[in-house]
Structure formats: C-alpha cells, structure tokens
Structure 1
Amino acid sequence: MQSHHPIGIFDSGIGGLTVARSIIEQLPGYDYIYLGDNSRAPYGNRSFQTIHQYTWECVEWLFKQGCPLIILACNTASAKALRTIQQVDMPGKYADQRVLGVIRPTAEVIGDYSTSKEIGVLGTTGTVQSQSYVIEIEKFFPELKVYQQDCPLWVPLIESGEYTQPGADYFIKMYLDKMLSQSAKIDTLLLACTHYPLLQSKIQSFLPENITVVSQGDIVAKSLTNYLQRHPEIETKLTQKGNCQFFTTTDDTADFDRHASTFFAAPVTSAYVHIP
C-alpha cells in the first residue's frame, strides 16, 4: 500500500503553476505533485485526439504516483479531454479516483464580475473552438453575453520566456484589440488559459481602467476547498505532510525550475519524467 497520496496538478507546461500556487496557498497542509508536459506544449492548436491522448497519459502517470484526485490546471485539456477521461477512460479501472477541470468552477462565478453583463474570454484556439465556456457560462448566467478571442501566440511566448521582452507587446495588444472590437460594452476579460496570468500586468496596461481582468488561480483553489468539504470520501484519502514535488517532461529541468521558482518565491527543483 502506498502511504503517499498527494493531490495531482497537471498542465501542458508552466501555466498551471499559477493555479498550483493558489491551491497550495489556500490548502497548505496537503501533499502535491505537479506535472508539466513541457516537451509537448503548447496543446492549444492540437487535435482533439492528440490533446486527449497526451492528457490521459499524464493523468494515468499521476494516478500511478498515488494521486486520488487530479486537477487539470489547463483549459485546453479541460475543454477537450476531461469529459472523455471522466466518462470513458476512468470507469472501472480508476473508479475511486477523481479528475476535475478549471472551466466549470470559473463559469460558476464569472458573471459576478460583470456589471454590463458582457464579458470576453481569452483562450487558446482549442479552448475557443470547443465552445466550452459559452456552454458552461450559459448554465449559470444565461443573461450574459460571451465573446471569445483565441490568442495562439501567447503560450509559445510564455513557454519560451519571451513574454517579458518588448517585442511581445505587439502580439499582446493585437489580440486584445481584436477582443474589444467585438463589443464596446465588454467590462470583464477572463484569462481562460492558466498561462495568461503571466501576462496580466502587460494586458492590464493596454486596457481601459473600467475593464476587470480575471485569472483563475484563486477561483479554482476556492472551488477545490469547497469540493473537499463536500466529498470526505476523497479528502480522507489525501495525505497531509506538506510535501510538494515537481515533474516535467522536458529534460531541461533547469529552465522549468527557473520559471517555477519565480511563482513560488523560493527555489524549486524538478525531476524529469518520460511520458508515456
């Protein structure tokens, strides 16, 4: 029997660290394993089949590390792989484990941020094409008008570390202009990719003061806290030793560590893992 049962947090790269940081801050006592599939990032422009395959391979690896609960801290994976994983892959073999995404908890609250009841969703091409946010938000805020804009160059800029350079500003502003041109009444922008909070200060600098920018970290962390309170059958399986491990599918672990250390304001040491 394994005595280590952490919460697994998965992302296609480093973006999920924004969610991981918020979760660990709000639930510091638990054990965690973070897995970034950096070698195959970005996921945003890949096919449904490829995104599902990559995500399931990583989810199954986390299951084998003893995780009873996994958070897909990736909007593209949540949009294009989560339902198949929950309904097709897990029943039977992993019936006692759980995999949760980031779209539903965000959709449950996003309408509360808007006064005009018109919001913009900034995401990867895969997330936007899936229409997942439009569908989920409709369930909770049917009066809300939702506009979408894909930003296919943002994740590559972030994963390469070029997002801090002045040259990135052109591409940040370009997609924001396209987003805002859809309606003058948009007063809330959702960063529907966990990478995008790394651009938040630059994004805000290009926006009118009346527009609120919403990132997902705290929303997902609060939702997870509520989930564990409602599901003691999962919560009691989790070990609480305050340990946090980081894994990446790129052999350049030093680069991953540099990024992760900036998120957690402390040195982070990751280990390379080959998946599948």
Structure 2
Amino acid sequence: MQSTMPIGVFDSGIGGLTVFRSIVEKLPAYDYVYLGDNSRAPYGNRSFNTIHQYTWECVQWLFKQGCPLVILACNTASAKALRTIQQKDMIANYADKRVLGVIRPTAEVIGNYSQTKQIGVLGTTGTVQSESYLIEINKFFPDVKVHQQACPLWVPLIENGEYNKPGADYYVQMYLAQILAQAPDIDTLLLACTHYPLLQDKIQQHLPTGIKVVTQGDIVAESLSGYLTRHTEIEQNITRTGTRHFYTTSDDTQDFDKHASMFFASEVKSEYTSLR
C-alpha cells in the first residue's frame, strides 16, 4: 500500500459500492482503496457531531494508506461532515489532499432531468434533516422546487437481503405515496442514498408513468473524471496499476464480502481494519 497512491472511496457501510462500481467502470486504470465503516453503520440516524467524528477518522485512515484524494460515497457523510472536513480539519495537516462528496455533483445536474421543475429527493433521515440537497440544488437551479422524503426503513430492508422480495413492496409504496402527496407534479425522483439503487426496479414499478428515477453512480463518476482533468496536480499523483483493495471495520469480513459483492456486482475480498 505504501508504494501506491490510490483514490480512496469511503462509505459508512456497503452502499457506497454502487458509486464505486460506476467510478471503476468510468476510470478503470487508477488504483483504489474502498473503506466501509460497517462496525458503526448505519450513520443515517446519528448526530452531526458523531457522523463528523466517524467520517474524519475514516478519511484520515485513507490518507495514511497514501490516498491523495478521497470520495465520500455516502450521502449522510457528505451532508453532515464534508464541509467541516474541507474547511476546518484539513487545513492544518492535509492541505495537499482533497476530499469530495456526492451531493454537489448531483445537485449540479439534477435540475436538467425535470420538465415540471418539481423534484423529489429520497434519502436517509440524516440527509433529509441536513437540507443539503435543498441548499445545493437551489444554487444551480433556483427555479426548481425540491421535495424531500426520509425512508429510514429502506436501508435495513436492503442490508437484510429483503429488497427484492414481495415484503419490500409495502415499504416502497409507503414512502413513494408520501413523497408524491407533497407534489403530484414531481417528474424526477433522486435516490439520495447509495443503497437505494438496489430498490430501483421496485421503485419504478410503483411509480406513475413518466417519473424518472435518478441514481448517483454515473453522475459522480462523470464528475470525478472532469475533476481529475481539471486538477492535474492531484491526478498526476494517483498511481495507475488498476488495483482495488477493500477494507471494512467489521471483523466479519465474510459477511461483508457476501453483501458487498451484491452491491459491487462482482466478487469482493476484503480485509479487516481497526482504523488504528
């Protein structure tokens, strides 16, 4: 690890692997390290301070692995920790490194998907309460009205392998009915949690015709590609041997690998880390 300078990809658990998969497909030549903080997941209902603390610990661990750039492939961490990390934590000791999130790249383009200018955002309780999407989308698309809905039962549904079973339909319909009740003219739904793409087929099945469902993986991958093109001082330091290492803070790596392979759409072999 010390001889490489990979791109770091962080998530509170395994959901970020849907974004990581898109990044690897778009930019396969680079070296990568993925870290899932599974022992402390989920982050969605934790406080701002706790999420910041956990996220910063994981970012520093990735820096120690040689990563000059870290992607927070987690909406909750991006919403509740990224700004403090960028504007405070990194200034003293990590001025030569960068940390990016998934919210801003999504906000920069999501308005282009909507004809009615009515967008629904489905996310964790933490992401919704932060109002990060309301703030960021308004910067780029002030004429777009954003409606939010927390879906706290979707992540445990997915992580317990129930997302493709008949019992999931009730909970999918429940939250969709709540978001559509806010504004019947919504024509675009953003899945603002990296777990939710696994429910995409069921979500689409229970939506009226004409409503687009947008996931973040390809958006973030395209944004990262552009970022690296613009910031050669970062890009030139990233090594390119096509290696991918997976780490988890859970001591049950076999369980992580089983679920991670489902999210990453190919076999995953992970190692345990205590973050020390």
TM-score range, shorter chain: over 0.9
Name 2:250's counterpart in structure 1. 250
Distance 2:201 2:55 in 1: 30
Would you say the 8 A contact 2:20–2:264 is kept in 1?
A: no
Would you say the 8 A contact 1:30–1:240 is kept in 2?
A: yes
Whether 2:269 is the aligned partner of 1:269: answer yes
Q: How many residues in Structure 1 have an aligned counterpart in Structure 2?
A: 276
Q: What runs of 5+ residues in structure 1 fail to find an aligned partner?
A: none
Name 1:164's counterpart in structure 2. 164
When residues 13 and 231 of structure 1 are mapped into structure 2, their CA distance, relative to the original with a 3 A threshold, is same
Distance 1:275 1:181 in 2: 44
- Structure 1 range deviating more: 236-245 or 148-157: 148-157
Distance 2:156 2:264 in 1: 22
How far does the alpha carbon of each residue in 1:251-273 deviate from its partner, in whole angstroms, 9 at most, with x for none?
12112212222344432100111
Whether 2:113 is the aligned partner of 1:113: answer yes
Distance 2:268 2:253 in 1: 10
Distance 1:263 1:64 in 2: 26
Name 2:180's counterpart in structure 1. 180
Residues 43-122 of structure 1: pairs in structure 2 closer than 5 A: 43-122=43-122
How far does the alpha carbon of each residue in 1:100-146 deviate from its partner, in whole angstroms, 9 at most, with x for none?
00000000000000010100000111111111000000010000010
How far does the alpha carbon of each residue in 1:158-200 deviate from its partner, in whole angstroms, 9 at most, with x for none?
2222223322221111111101110110000000111111111
Letter of the structure 2 residue corresponding to residue 139 of structure 1:
K
How far off is 1:58 after superposition? 0.5
Whether 2:223 is the aligned partner of 1:223: answer yes
Would you say the 8 A contact 1:191–1:215 is kept in 2?
A: yes
Letter of the structure 2 residue corresponding to residue 88 of structure 1:
K
- Structure 1 range deviating more: 64-73 or 84-93: 84-93
Would you say the 8 A contact 2:122–2:149 is kept in 1?
A: yes
TM-score of the superposed pair, with normalisation by structure 1? 0.97
Name 2:204's counterpart in structure 1. 204
How far does the alpha carbon of each residue in 1:11-45 deviate from its partner, in whole angstroms, 9 at most, with x for none?
11111000000000000000000011111111111
Name 2:141's counterpart in structure 1. 141
Distance 1:227 1:94 in 2: 19
Task: Indicate the RMSD between aligned Cα atoms, in angstroms.
Answer: 1.2
Q: Which runs of 4+ in 1 moved over 6 A?
A: none
Q: What runs of 5+ residues in structure 2 fail to find an aligned partner?
A: none
Distance 2:15 2:223 in 1: 19
Name 1:195's counterpart in structure 2. 195
Would you say the 8 A contact 1:75–1:103 is kept in 2?
A: yes
Name 1:11's counterpart in structure 2. 11
Percent of counterpart pairs with the same letter?
74
Would you say the 8 A contact 2:18–2:264 is kept in 1?
A: no
Letter of the structure 2 residue corresponding to residue 172 of structure 1:
V
Distance 1:93 1:136 in 2: 28
Q: Secondary structure at the match of 1:164?
A: coil
Would you say the 8 A contact 1:13–1:159 is kept in 2?
A: no
Letter of the structure 2 residue corresponding to residue 207 of structure 1:
L
Name 2:30's counterpart in structure 1. 30
